[in-house]
Structure 1
Amino acid sequence: MMFKKTSLALLAAFTMLFTNTLHAEAAKVIDAKADVAIEKFKKLVKGGDVFLKKVKGYLVFPTVYKGGFFVGGEYGEGVLRVDGKSIAYYNIASASVGFQFGAQKRSYIFAFADQYALDRFMKSNGWEAGVDGSIAVIDWGRGIDISSISYEKPIYAFVFDNKGLMANVALEGTKFTRIVPH
């Protein structure tokens, strides 16, 4: 009985956490948060500035919340930039079941190194990692310059600014959906 009450309480808290995300933030707010996330990325990742200039486009999700207690979820809103300009807004969402406990806030940048991959993403009516395309998650160490990536994969993901108690990056099944911010 205690497990059931705890699960229900966590599910209710988790639902409330994401209730405010049912309506997209204003485009200006998403863009401002994305600018801050990009600056953090450039400071944390050697060669990050050069890398972002080389790719065909990139998605910036400045704040993605993830939480779970056996059943988990993740949600955030971001912007697709091509040639440094905001061209569309998206949300990122995923759900999972399994042993998990905690909450976390992090930032993502998904870089499209291949024009075909970017075009497919932009034309989709809901894109799912692992189904509509694969994403290479980059694990960089201090001092490694990422501007030297050889672009063997069409899409690269960077996870940074982790804050919280959860530590895993599984993008399979993560969905990206275009939104219209107010």
Structure 2
Amino acid sequence: MMKLIKVFALAFMLAGMLVSTAEAGWDPANAEKAKESVDYFRKNAPALNRFFEQAYGYAVFPDVFKGGLFMFGGGHGKGYVYEQNNLVGNSTITQINVGPQLGGQSFSEIIFFKGKEDLESFKKGNYEMNAQVAAIIVSTGMATNTDFSNGVAVFVLPKAGVMAEATVGGQKFSYQSY
């Protein structure tokens, strides 16, 4: 019986991460939230400044929440998309993982797009990154030897939580223009 309760609890948790609230058009508060998100990365990861200068666009996700129990886990967050330093839309990130894992964490993620075609591919709305696209955890000096891979560069700033995992998974993104 206890195992059944755990399975239902996990299913409920994953369903909650996959369901997002609907947004009705432009919310003026989005511009301020987006600016705060970019400022957070600029302040906490100054080595990324060269990516802000070189990239055609970027998607920033200020708060991604991730959790896992036993063999399944996932994460979800909302973010903002910039094209040539202009806020053009919002995005969601959904992450699914399979493999041994336990815990929860929150982090911020930013994806830089090298050229217009890379950003346009993202803006089509069903962009996915698999396990082969590695996010680099931001640390001192990390961006000096990092470059774009297949037109993207992905960086993560851990915020809180503890999670142990040996998983395989991917991230899926949606896009909505303003």
Tell me if structure 2 keeps the 8 A contact 1:138–1:158.
yes
Tell me if structure 2 keeps the 8 A contact 1:135–1:154.
no
Distance 1:180 1:145, change over 3 A: closer
Q: How far off its partner does 1:154 sit?
A: 1.1
Distance 1:59 1:47, change over 3 A: same
Q: How far off its partner does 1:148 sit?
A: 6.8
Q: Which residue number in structure 2 is paired with residue 176 of structure 1?
A: 173
Q: Which residue number in structure 2 is paired with residue 164 of structure 1?
A: 161
**Pairwise mapping of residues 63-74 of structure 1 onto structure 2 (< 5 A)?**
63-69=63-69, 70-74=71-75
**Pairwise mapping of residues 1-182 of structure 1 onto structure 2 (< 5 A)?**
1-16=1-16, 21-24=20-23, 27-69=27-69, 70-122=71-123, 124-130=124-130, 135-142=133-140, 144=141, 146=143, 149-151=146-148, 153-166=150-163, 173-179=170-176
Please list every run of 5 or more consecutive structure 2 residues that lacks an aligned counterpart in the other structure.
none
Amino acid at match of 2:83: V
Q: State the alpha-carbon separation in 1 of the partners of residues 119 and 51 from structure 2.
A: 16
TM-score between both structures, scaled by the size of structure 2: 0.79
Q: State the alpha-carbon separation in 1 of the partners of residues 74 and 22 from structure 2.
A: 17
Question: Mean Cα displacement is larger for which, 103-112 or 35-44?
Answer: 35-44
Which contiguous aligned blocks of 4+ residues in structure 1 show a shift greater than 6 angstroms?
168-171
Q: How far off its partner does 1:74 sit?
A: 1.2
| More strand per residue | 2
Q: How far off its partner does 1:96 sit?
A: 2.3
Tell me the number of residue pairs that the alignment of Structure 1 and Structure 2 aligns.
Answer: 176
**TM-superposition CA deviations, 1:121-167 (whole Å, max 9, x none):** 22x24111149xx745234431x173675545410111014311226
